[in-house]
Amino acid sequence: MFASRARYALRAALWLADRYPRFASAHRVAEGLAASPKFMESILTDLSHQGLLVSQRGRAGGYRLARPPASVSVLDIVNASGVRLWSHECSPDSPACQGCDRVATCKVRLLLADCRGALEASLAAQTLDGLRPPPGAVRPPLQPPS
């Protein structure tokens, strides 16, 4: 459902949430998620530019969440990753839909608009803190073993 970039952005945010408020280098995050350091640097830079991460230069620098994990939603992360959440051509903001002569009465468009709204509401209600395991529980690896 999510593009790879959005999935890795969410994994990186969860990884940083587990270490909040400490900083971690992009290389360390990439290593922790078994991801490409260059790809991870790109994702973390995007999240930082969108205000979800704080970056700090220097030996003790790196990236950390800009807010506590309880105040960062999954929707925040997906939107900041630059990935479109909903890409179906029959959606209210689609150019294809705007040119359709059935736009005023199209039941499919209305159904998909409701689905999109429900998906966004669900992702907005779920925070990074809510995705973290309870204290003492062991989280399965964020990256499945190869």
**pLDDT (tens digit per residue) in 27-36:** 999 999 999 9
Q: Which residue reads 């966004």 in tokens? A: 120
| Alpha-carbon distance values, 115 to 33, 43, 74, 109, 111 (Å) | 31, 27, 17, 10, 6
CATH class of 4-131: mainly alpha
Per-residue pLDDT band at 118 (split at 50, 70, 90)? very high
Going by C-alpha positions, the residue among 76, 85, 80, 70 that lies closest to residue 127 is 70
pTM above 0.85, yes or no: no
**pLDDT (tens digit per residue) in 65-115:** 999 999 999 999 999 998 877 666 666 666 767 777 777 788 887 788 888
